[in-house]
Structure 1
Amino acid sequence: MVPNIKFMKSCGVGMEEIIKHIYNFPRFLLNSLDNMEKFVKTVDEMGASRSSKMFIYAVRFVSSMSDENWELKLKLFRDLGFSEDEILVMFRKAPQVFAVSARKLKKVMEVLLATGKYDISCIVNCPASFICSVEKKLEPRMQVLTILDSRNLIQKWPSLATIIKMSDIKFFEKFVNPFLNEVGEVYMANGELTVKRNRKLTRPD
């Protein structure tokens, strides 16, 4: 483990991130130094910045996949319509996306593209959308926005990044509570019930 710690430090990874991985992913740092150098080379070739906090996460995700599975995942993204450059951008921004199952990747694409408001470029700019819960976050929010848009209750759709980063409470306060008659039941029926417990509903007259 010590040689790998020294190697990660030489790559510019801070001790804080290394310590997190020692506690949370100890097997990662037990790889041979030769393998670790190979993983880092792969990450470098994909254009990930060593100065980014995501660098060590990218190395860990590469280490968790066999060469065959890695190529299969790259093929999957290509089959979903992403270009080579777009795949690289997503990897740099959110390497954990490469650990998401094929089924979920396809479902997220289906839900987002079906709105007609988000396209592949939006997903590339916000690959974290692949990590969200489809049932508890993406679908309820897309349904709410679709209804509000169809009734001209919103001027324009928020960016995908805004929707993904917004907390349940913030989304509720901005897009649900002011329009409870229109979307309250739809939203509450789709899993995001914690807001109901934490916020008093104020149904418009």
Structure 2
Amino acid sequence: MGLVGPDLCKFISSNSRIFSCSLEKKLIPCTQILKKILVNDKNNQDLIRIVRRPSWLITMNPESRFLRNIAFFESCGIVGSQLSYLLKIKPRLFLMEESKLRDLVLRVSDLGFSFHSRMFVYGLCIVFSLNKEIFERKLELLRSFGFTNNEAMEIFRKQPMLFSNSEERLKSALDFFLNKIELKKEMLIKAPFCLTLSLGERVIPRYRVMQILKSKSLLVLNKEPSFFMMLAVSEKKFLEKFVEKFTDDAEELLVAYRGHMLDSSSSSPSSEEINLDAS
């Protein structure tokens, strides 16, 4: 499988019960099932990460509810890379009691996720991870910033992994976009992905750069990129398009963009700690 040296020693010391399991009846069949689900698993890296966890996944009865749950997921349209993602992120879903798993899937469906949506599997992960009280608190946080209940649910359906963020981080992101730069809430409903990004490492530095480009009239008016587009592009693309391209101002732009790295006391400064005035 690729477990060798110290990694093999650590695995054996924490999973000694594998030696009491049948190689032919349990370990090999279970491993083959896992490998079949894990698509594009180079050098068994995903498989190794999974079996390093408590060994119940490779010591279970291969004819148990594990296979039945796989069949149920597939009947819901969760196949291929989505099934692989689910196994890597939430492996315990595969050993849930069938009735509880069906109730969980029904709840996700009732929240408005379609079985045919690629977001369904992410909604399933969040609903499984959060109890109802915490889930409702995060919805209430969105409502406290002026979103209706339907709008808050639309944001959740579009970006369910947003709810994996802490309430403090979600509140800081909402405060920055809606209060600091006064973005219309309709824009956040349209592109809620920006709420998942790090304020200190990505959002605020790129906002600084955009403000400098605007103040120096370096952006062509009829081709001016949206802030969302500037947030979405990769680090390499951002530097190419919005920093290095403007050779006369590249140093100033780079200082504005990398300035947060000078503060070694905080790896993720809050918006209050950062001067947003690009001038």
Partner residue, 1:140? 205
Partner residue, 2:196? 131
Q: Give the Cα separation in 2 of the matches to 1:71 and 1:108.
A: 18
After TM superposition, the structure 1 = structure 2 runs for residues 123-202 of structure 1, keeping only pairs within 5 Å, are 123-154=188-219, 155=221, 158-177=225-244, 178=246, 179-191=249-261
Q: Give the Cα separation in 2 of the matches to 1:29 and 1:170.
A: 39
TM-score (normalizing by structure 2): 0.62
How far has the Cα of 1:25 moved from its partner? 2.2
After TM superposition, the structure 1 = structure 2 runs for residues 21-170 of structure 1, keeping only pairs within 5 Å, are 21-113=86-178, 114-116=180-182, 118-154=183-219, 155=221, 158-170=225-237
Aligned 8 A contact 1:115 1:142 in 2 = no
Q: Give the Cα separation in 1 of the matches to 2:196 and 2:187.
A: 15
Q: Give the Cα separation in 2 of the matches to 1:87 and 1:32.
A: 31
Deviation digits for residues 15-57 of structure 1, max 9, x if unmatched? 4321332233212322222222222222212211211222112
Task: Say how many residue pairs are matched.
Answer: 191
The structure that has the greater radius of gyration is 2
Aligned 8 A contact 1:123 1:160 in 2 = no
Q: Give the Cα separation in 1 of the matches to 2:106 and 2:134.
A: 17
Fraction of identical pairs, as percent = 30
Q: 1:106 to 1:157 in 2, by over 3 A?
A: farther
Q: Which has the higher contact order (CA 8 A, sep 6+)?
A: 1
Q: Give the Cα separation in 1 of the matches to 2:110 and 2:226.
A: 30
Q: Give the Cα separation in 2 of the matches to 1:24 and 1:74.
A: 23
How far has the Cα of 1:160 moved from its partner? 4.2
Indicate the larger mover: 54-63 or 177-186.
177-186
Q: Give the Cα separation in 1 of the matches to 2:143 and 2:163.
A: 13
Deviation digits for residues 119-160 of structure 1, max 9, x if unmatched? 211111111112211111001001111222233332375334
Aligned 8 A contact 2:207 2:227 in 1 = no
Partner residue, 2:22? none
Cα RMSD, aligned residues only:
2.1
The answer for unaligned runs of 5 or more in structure 1 is 193-205
Q: Give the Cα separation in 2 of the matches to 1:111 and 1:40.
A: 34
| Counterpart residue identity of residue 55, structure 1 | F
How far has the Cα of 1:100 moved from its partner? 1.0
Q: 1:187 to 1:16 in 2, by over 3 A?
A: closer
How far has the Cα of 1:182 moved from its partner? 4.0
| Counterpart residue identity of residue 241, structure 2 | K
TM-score (normalizing by structure 1): 0.83
Aligned 8 A contact 1:61 1:95 in 2 = yes
How far has the Cα of 1:90 moved from its partner? 1.7
Deviation digits for residues 92-122 of structure 1, max 9, x if unmatched? 2221011111111122123323224x32111
